Structure 1
């Protein structure tokens, strides 16, 4: 996906007033996501992202432990100036739902296998109970 198309999708999904806000959220969320993914799954996701975001995903600090969805949201809030947990939930969902649309069901399922339970909701793709 091209840079502008990705940012436009995130901006629309997140109802951001500017592309800069969509970019800020995308960088933070993808950096945190990249810290949780390994191997072919991370490489395949990076290959589908615009180059700048692929580099953000591929060059994170590795997570010491997997973050639960709740802690992922708190970490996002900590990295976005002025964000609350409520606005960070919105940011995470806007970015990850665009990622889910981009990658398709097979890769999304492999991504979710590397993450703690509950991330399916952040991607906007609740798994059957």
Structure 2
């Protein structure tokens, strides 16, 4: 999979239509997601993604996010994405990124990813 194909799929899934904004949203969602993952999961997931998507998952500084609140996650994504993005926009963007990613990586890897997320994050994969 090429990154431009991924961004086009994100746009079709309800994410930002502008390529630059879709890139920003994708990197932001992955960076905030990477902070929630432990063990080898960030590297395992990154290995199945285009190189442009790997760094955001792997840049995690060691401080794991442990809250179980989807709303808090979405507020962080909105804040980090900027562009006047609010939590509703962040929900739409996160859903577009993660549902698109689920179509590009193995089902086993998505199951591993989901096993590290609280149950409340399930709507992001629909």
Structure 1 and Structure 2 fold alike (TM over 0.5): yes
- Given candidates 111, 114, 119, the residue that maps to 1:117 is 119
Partners of 2:55 and 2:68 in 1: CA distance: 21
TM-score by length of 2: 0.88
Is 2:72 aligned against 1:63?
Answer: no
Matches within 5 A, 1:15-94: 15-61=15-61, 62-81=63-82, 82-94=84-96
Report how far residue 30 of structure 1 moved.
0.3
Q: Secondary structure at the match of 1:102?
A: coil
Report how far residue 67 of structure 1 moved.
4.6
Say what the alpha-carbon RMSD is for the aligned residues: 1.6
Asked if the contact 1:10/1:22 (under 8 Å) is kept, the reply is: yes
- Given candidates 87, 99, 102, the residue that maps to 1:100 is 102
Report how far residue 28 of structure 1 moved.
0.5
Which segments of structure 1 move beyond 4 Å, counting only runs of 4 or more? none
Deviation sequence 1:31-73 (CA, Å, 0-9, x none): 0011111223221210111112101111123334245222111
Aligned match of 1:127: none
Change (3 A) 1:15 1:27: closer
Asked if the contact 2:7/2:22 (under 8 Å) is kept, the reply is: yes
